Amino acid sequence: MLLSDQTNSVVLRPVGYQFPAAPGNRYDDNWLVIEGAVTTPEGTWSFTDPCLLTHEARAVATWLRAVAAGTMAVTEPDAEGWLSPDTWFVEPVLAFSLADQRNDGAVIRVHLSMEAAPPWLRGEDRPGSYQFTVELRVDPPALLRAVEQWNLALASFPSR
């Protein structure tokens, strides 16, 4: 799935199950390894991490579709300036929130923490979970294309 604008881009794709042999645990059987590539004016980096369960990965498509339809509410920072994502998952590595919504499109935030954070923010200097974001202005057709790409990639990884 490609989310991009004139300044930033985030590419996400499932690349496999964390445990391909399916050890027989409904929870562990459904961890997906997600590969990401991020480009911002500050730098470019990539990550590969088992950070989404199969049902969580499908929730990403549902959320993006709702943003494209204009049915998601904008999420503002709290009184102290902290961001809370609209959709977050068991592993606090990847999350999404809506920064702005207009007729011509939306500004979505891709929250990148821990293994998905830029290399210069890993370790002791990293911000709290969900506080590093990449904002992308994306129109509804581009969001729907991203949903199609994501769903196509997920088709190879059903819940087990």
13-39 as b/e: b if 16+ CB within 10 A: bbeebebeeeeeeeeebbbbbbebebb
Contact of 107 with 98, CB cutoff 8 Å: yes
What share of residues in the chain are helix, strand, coil (percent, to 5)?
Answer: 25, 35, 40
Give the 3-state secondary structure of residue 146: helix
Confidence of residue 130 (pLDDT cuts 50, 70, 90): confident
CATH topology of domain 2-154: Transcriptional Co-activator pc4; Chain A (2.30.31)
Rounded to a whole number of angstroms, the distance between the first and last alpha carbons of the chain is: 23
pLDDT greater than 80 at residue 116: yes
Confidence of residue 125 (pLDDT cuts 50, 70, 90): low
Contact of 144 with 116, CB cutoff 8 Å: no
Contact of 44 with 94, CB cutoff 8 Å: no
What is the pLDDT at residue 131?
Answer: 87
pLDDT greater than 90 at residue 67: yes
Contact of 86 with 100, CB cutoff 8 Å: no
What is the token pair recorded at 19?
């445990």
Give the residue-averaged pLDDT of 8-37: 94
